[in-house]
Structure 1
Amino acid sequence: MRRFLGDTLSDKLEKVVSMDRFRSGRSLSPLRQAEAYWSALRTDEDVPLRSAIDPRGLENILPYAFILERIAPGIARFRLAGQHLTELTGMEVRGMPLTAMFTGAARAEVGAVLEHMFDTPAVAELDLIAERRFALSPLEARMVLLPLKSDFGDTSRALGVVVAEGELSKRTSHSFDVARSRLRNLCGEQTIPPVVEQETQGFAEEESEFQAAPHLRLVASRDEM
């Protein structure tokens, strides 16, 4: 985990923003610590660069942190992830899409949140609850997603933190539904993503009235005539 979030560019940083300057005892949650760190890296009220994220500045919350890369509209994959996320999902998530940890019913909303976060850009917060059949006891989680710029200047990366409360099942993975999602633009104002339309028809095609083909006709054989 020491190399988590690190790359050659971050190794060249002369100054590391430490999380210690933002902590007020242990009452500040990993989500708030991550956002405070992210805010300190902003210049001219803009989104921080991915290369500015240094693991030494996030050392005390590394198990809960992860980095996302936008790869398509509504889709972002894990580039790096902490141990807590592995325990939640029961698998190594690196290289997998963020939606892999959600139920099928929640994935459309997660995709809309991702698009809005990257395009606005905005800070996203999600309240999660484990699918009932996977949980030994009520398992809830909170997630924050903080947009980042790539070295090319496009907002296509994100720093994320997820923290769960409840008993984790070691025998199976946990799949989450979204209980609530909230987004704030860079000025701190609440913003709303596009309405997600649920597809309910599945693979069914529209029914059409059957009509006999006009060019077909019954031909009797000589034995029948």
Structure 2
Amino acid sequence: MSHDSPILPIRSAHTNIVTLDHSAFSDAPDRFPACRDLLAYWEALRGSRQMPARAEFDPRGIEQTLACSFVGEKVAPSVVRIRVAGSVMSEALGMDVRGMPITAFFDPASRDVLAEATRDLLGSPAMVTIDLSARRRFSLSPIRARMLLLPMSDASGQVTRLVGCLDIEGGLDKTPRRFQITSLSRKEISGDAPTPSAPFVPLAPKTEPSYAFAEAPHSFRSKRAAKSTSSIKNNSLRLVVNNEKA
């Protein structure tokens, strides 16, 4: 279960570029089907918990949205680096985005806002939806997109992972670009807190059963080896001493 937060605390000097509203979760959901499908899969995984564990996340559950999905890892309270990403993420920047921070997709004026939202997502925890825009080449109409960020726990039960989606309305052209934030919504998440996963215990190697009255095993010796040894003995040199006097 989740509920809307009354306000997302943003301490950025660039707050004038962001309009805080909570309609992003319900405003024309069919415009961004990838975000809708990822959220549905994440909700199904978590059940009554605050979030699912990273180990539970199976890419086969979101086959239709893999191209625009990514998994990130927390490296600082407000910094998340991308571990794996779909092709849309790389096309947006024109390069391989693995190892890059999520802020790389945003123009400099929007990065402080995203950093605050990331801090809240990992700390509260919360889910974050960001509406984005970018200028098109040779066009007055901007590109519209939505980024969805959802927390996940690691093996120790800490909130250090997230799964996200960059859903771009109408797709991208071949020009790499960065996005501006037009609105940002945050929902706090309630439920059972994440717990550490069970440690992996390797299986003990199989041992042969022992029997109380079993005879001691006999060593195997092939006939060929015995014949070879006998042949060596027969062909070996012998010292003959003749003590008779001539």
TM-score, with length taken from structure 1: 0.67
Shift of 1:44: 3.3
Q: CA deviation at 1:113?
A: 0.5
Match of 2:146 in 1: 142
The aligned counterpart of 2:164 is 160
Q: Conserved in 1, the CA contact under 8 Å of 2:32 and 2:169?
A: no
Mapped partners of 1:162, 1:127: distance in 2: 10
Q: Number of aligned residue pairs: give it.
A: 160
The answer for the alignment partner of 1:6 in structure 2 is: none
1:69 partner amino acid: E
Report the alpha carbon displacement of residue 169 of structure 1 after superposing the two structures with TM: 3.4
Which residue is equivalent to 1:185? 188
Q: Quick one: which of 133, 154, 176 aligns to 2:179?
A: 176
How far did 1:64 drift? 1.2
CA gap of 1:56–1:167, structure 2 versus 1, over 3 A, is: closer
Contact 1:136–1:168 (CA under 8 A) maintained in structure 2: no
CA apart distance, 1:166 = 4.3
Cα 1:56–1:90 shift into 2, 3 Å: same
Does residue 104 of structure 1 match 2:99?
no
Distance 2:32 2:147 in 1: 15
91 and 27 in structure 1: CA distance in 2 versus 1, 3 angstrom threshold: closer
Tell me the distance in 1 between the aligned counterparts of 2:113 and 2:102. Answer: 12
Greater CA deviation, 179-188 or 104-113?
A: 179-188
* Amino acid of the structure 1 residue aligned with 2:122: F
Offset of residue 39 of structure 1: 0.7
Aligned partners of 1:182, 1:136: CA distance in 2, in Å? 31
Which residue does 2:63 correspond to in 1?
Answer: 59
2:80–2:101 contact (8 Å) kept in structure 1:
yes
Cα shift at 1:55: 1.1
Report the Cα distance in structure 1 between the residues aligned to 2:158 and 2:129, rounded to whole angstroms: 21
What is the TM-score of this pair, normalised by structure 2?
A: 0.61
SS at match of 1:41: helix
Q: Which residue of 2 aligns with 1:214?
A: none
Match of 2:85 in 1: 81
User: What is the Cα deviation at residue 178 of structure 1?
Assistant: 0.5
Quick one: structure 1 residues 160 and 173, their matched pair in 2 at CA, closer, same or farther if it must change by over 3 Å? Answer: same
Q: Is contact 2:31-2:169 (8 Å) kept?
A: no
Is 1:39 the counterpart of 2:43 in the alignment? Answer: yes
1:36-79: per-residue Cα shift (whole Å, max 9, x none)? 10011114322110010001111111101100111012110110
Alignment partner of 2:46: what SS? coil
Partners of 1:65 and 1:161 within 8 A in 2:
yes
Structure 1, unpaired ranges of 5+:
1-25, 189-225
RMSD over aligned CA atoms reads 2.0
Query: What is the 5 A alignment of 1:207-222?
Result: none
Write out per-residue CA displacement over residues 3-52 of structure 1, whole angstroms, 9 at most, x where no aligned residue: xxxxxxxxxxxxxxxxxxxxxxx888111111110011114322110010
Larger radius of gyration: 2
For 2:47 and 2:66, the matched residues in 1 are separated by: 24
Gaps of at least 5 residues in structure 2 are: 1-29, 192-246
Amino acid at match of 1:182: S
Distance in 2, Cα, partners of 1:176 & 1:28: 16
Structure 1 residues 27 and 74, CA gap change in structure 2 (3 angstroms): closer
Q: Deviations over 1:100-153 (max 9, x none)?
A: 1111100000000100001010110000111x3x64432111010010001111
One-letter code aligned to 1:89: L
CA distance in 2, matches of 1:128, 1:28: 12
Indicate the SS of the match to 1:129. Answer: strand
Matches within 5 A, 1:4-43: 29-43=33-47
